[in-house]
Chains A and B, each alone.
Chain A
């Protein structure tokens, strides 16, 4: 019987094996062709061009009228980027930003996900949607709205706090970063909560029953069963959040229009924008972009390696 079964399946393709299986073999490639084409044209090619461009510079002389010649300069642009203290400082700034924003945001997202999962919340769907909704607001709009709330003369929040005897300075040099952190947390907590929440749904319910029978209360259940079970999801959101922090652009760029305490090279991406769009130096900008890409990659690899080792150790 077992030897016969392949034979019963075989006959149809058997008759025209060469042609059909050839078509079948080609099918996956045809299906992924649109993706590959777009991926190559809009991701791979730009990266290749950026890397290539980063080794060149426009050579000019005198007043420079009439343009210059692009010439190979080796690593000059990279040396220049590393010599740019504003650019280096922008990395320090987003790292500090991320060191605060990512843990706070993830703790809130985790707490909310556990709360929604605990069956203690009424109107769960409504609150879930409410938490998620800010993610649907484009980051520029989010920054504009918060920007409004940060400006003393027009902000109801400032008015309220002043009524209580507090005079908040949301846009001062020392506080503007935390105001920015607040905007980002408001925007992205919801989507991270959803990722963690859906991961919670995959935890087998029997484990909860077993834990309850062993005498665990809801808090212990959450901390000792649920959290360890969804650690992969938490690590994933951490990784995404850190990458997002390095790429920070829209929110600070928008808030810059209401406060000069956010400088033109506040984040790495803003420094790149300044160099390419305002300064017109695509070559140097490309080198800076490559450096940002490498920094992001290194950080991602280090993080996933660390989490893998941790996972291995736990087992």
Chain B
């Protein structure tokens, strides 16, 4: 009896919730209502994603778009590993969220739909760096969702205590590192984490570099090109002079070092502060944010990659699927939901959203996301992912472990990863130009 009442209460509450969402959607004047199946019949699309709160987003869309109904499935754990098998078996969802880095790996296995026809004109709505990650050989394979433009998080208290200026260039960064470590041998300006390739990608990207490129009908591998070697110089100096703490990222050990004040700056993507707040809550108010130090002759910030929405091969209603992901990722309402879910949107309309640009107590009242939004506009569009991205990233981790142990230099490690990547691509039967 009691449980029956409860169920009814839930049903009523859910109905009210959906209705109110429908009302807000309508009053919001969204253009979502225009969509319908090309043959006039309503279609139902399955959508796999992981941004928090997407259930509400989808409910709002469904209420406003009776002709394009979205069936949302929340991805957890290693659900992403099911995607290739599901596509190959013809049972894939119609829309999938995935890392931008994994796009080419899927494209060379013919798992994604070329959506240039429907999404090609979205280009102007996204930052060049995000749009650059979804276009391969002039074909559009995804719509960008969120990204991670970089910012320099730094311990205001430590920098003040030792009278050190917050560095604006990488040269100043090295000086600040020396000054900090000299002032207190227990303090390091940063950590070196062999297991976190994101830091590396971000700096190479900032320096207008990339691991891969496309030249006509062949892949280029540029893991050890000049842009990357300039990053290697900075890190080799930091490591040689013992200015960084070697610790693996995301481990209890890492968070202990952060909380102890061993690590004075963390230069990372827009999605990182949420994790920092969670694992170092006690340091609230002691962090500040500044633009990432720049390479000489450029004011560009870095980027470590984000997630995108793709339409797997075999999807019947490509046009409708793209209509939904365009709304989700490039409209005011859609990006508001993404922001509420805690991600940093790739579209300009999202980066200008007042919900995103709020004062952040953790950073002493600074509008941290303004720094990231400013950074997003400057990130080069140089980065190109390649079909062996995961293997290259794994090889980089292994090589960097040797660097941390003093068995290789950064330059030697990059040479090793370059050779491995070329071999992996050739093993796949692909054309490679070094």
Task: Decide: B405 and A64 in contact? CB cutoff 8 A.
Answer: no
Chain B 241-285, CB-CB to A under 8 Å as 1, else 0, gives 000000010111100110010000000000000000000000000
A306, CB-defined interface residue at 8 Å: no
Are B214 and A64 interface neighbours, CB within 8 A?
Answer: no
B430/A274 in contact, CB under 8 A:
no
Query: What residue of chain A has the Cβ atom nearest to residue B217's Cβ?
Result: A62
In the assembly, what is the distance between CA of A59 and CA of B430, in Å? Answer: 9
Known: A153-B256, A263-B401. A63 touches B137 (CB 8 A): yes
* Identity of the chain B residue whose Cβ is nearest the Cβ of A153 in the assembled complex: B256
CB nearest to B109 among chain A residues: A67
**B332 at interface, CB cutoff 8 A:** no
B397 touching A264 by the CB < 8 A rule?
A: yes
Asked if B394 contacts A274 (CB within 8 A), the reply is yes
Does B405 lie within 8 Å of A173, measured CB to CB?
Answer: yes
Q: When the two chains form the complex, which single residue of A64, A259, A263 contacts B248, counting CB atoms closer than 8 Å?
A: A259
Residues of A in contact (CB 8 Å), total: 36
B391 touches A279 (CB 8 A): yes
Chain B residue with Cβ nearest A171: B248
From A63, A263, A274, B391 is in contact (CB under 8 Å) with A274
For residue B116, CB closer than 8 A to chain A, the reply is no
Provide the bound-state CA to CA distance between A278 and B430, in Å.
17
Can you name the residue of chain B whose Cβ is closest to the Cβ of A80?
Answer: B427
Residues of the A chain whose Cβ atoms lie less than 8 Å from the Cβ of B427? 80, 281, 284
Check: A220 CB closer than 8 A to any chain B CB. no
Among A222-247, those with CB < 8 Å from B are none
Known: A260-B194, A260-B401. A64 touches B394 (CB 8 A): no
- A61 adjacent to chain B (CB < 8 Å): yes
- Docked pose: A275 CA to B252 CA in angstroms: 29
**Residue contact A154 to B390, C-beta cutoff 8 Å:** no
Contacting A at CB under 8 A, from B70-95, are 81, 84
**Shortest beta-carbon distance, B244 to chain A, in Å?**
15
Q: Is A257 an interface residue (CB 8 A)?
A: yes
Taking a contact as CB atoms under 8 Å apart, the answer to whether B430 and A67 are in contact is no
Chain B residue contacts of A63, Cβ below 8 A:
108, 136-137, 214, 217-219, 430-431
Q: Does B367 contact A (CB under 8 A)?
A: no
Known contacts A153-B256, A260-B195: does B110 contact A66 (CB below 8 Å)? yes
Which chain B residues (189-204) contact chain A, with CB distance < 8 Å? Answer: 194-195
Q: B388 to chain A: closest CB distance in Å?
A: 7
Which residues does A use to contact B, with CB under 8 Å? 57-68, 80, 147-148, 151-154, 172-173, 256-261, 263-264, 274, 277-281, 284
Other 14 A-B pairs with CB < 8 A, given A58-B428, A80-B427, A153-B257: A58-B109, A60-B430, A62-B217, A63-B136, A63-B430, A64-B428, A65-B107, A65-B137, A66-B110, A153-B252, A259-B195, A260-B400, A260-B401, A279-B391
18 residue pairs of the A-B complex, CB under 8 angstroms, read A58-B429, A60-B428, A60-B429, A63-B137, A63-B219, A151-B251, A153-B257, A172-B405, A257-B195, A257-B248, A258-B248, A259-B248, A260-B248, A260-B397, A260-B401, A278-B390, A280-B105, A281-B427
